[in-house]
Structure 1
């Protein structure tokens, strides 16, 4: 891929306010977007998240009030809830077992990695630290969607407690952190507006 194609996709990307509810995503495209999120980095490799794909239109209608009636919830082709894990004490052991399996090594070789992970989850700000990491797969999924010509809208403006309760997330040791609506825009006045960004000289400094 050349740099022009890459940057052009990002230039066209915007937070879509109006989706066309009649347009669906192919399974291949949805899978690619989700896979890009799965491949996103995380601190120490903990991957403290789960992606919940809400296809059920009735369920999305029930979620609408929790998102302050933002129509992206119901009109987008797919709604992805990026939830963070709340059973954080399980993460270090899962990490070393996963790493040992993939790398063909005994778990005993990974004591240092486990100690590092255990130190991470004992941070006073561990919940916030893990919550911030969920924005890494969010960004990866938005970027992939843009490259595939798919519109998206990241959403933090929602009542997480209401979403958690409706989907029974506490029982699954999950907390709704952010939402991502994806699909194809409809009659959206923002679709063709020029992107407003600070100049490169304002945001970049070579040291």
Structure 2
């Protein structure tokens, strides 16, 4: 379901599609300015100066990999040469993705088989659930923006009463945006 339809369904807003799309675009721009665009990321794993890094059979990814998306894993050995000839792009049979995308295991039966990872590994992959988390935060920010009515916290119709509060919409927005920057806990 398109994001604009999900926003309309969850907020009950009667704003025009053009206005809702403009609000979504503004929130998306804010998220991208803070966390970068959604999509593939590139990270480097290992430590070329640590002699023990040469004997790692598994590497832990900081963000889980979406196995349904393409990934590129490149080993650099020796890592400090800077020569393109020392970079080997691994085939899918050279490694295995484990623990819900959190761990890469080196396999010795593939075309570039080895028992251990090279001292430095460059991985380009799409984090698992990144786009879904961004869309959920976008919807929650839309709900917050559409429901904010100044300092009015509550209102009642019978024997009319209202409550003013110091609801800090900026603080709530920051909490929602900060949730994208936190690592989501995955049990391996």
TM-score (norm 2): 0.26
Q: Which is bigger in relative contact order (C-alpha 8 A, separation at least 6)? A: 1
More helix by percentage: 1
Larger gyration radius, structure 1 or structure 2: 2
More strand by share: 2
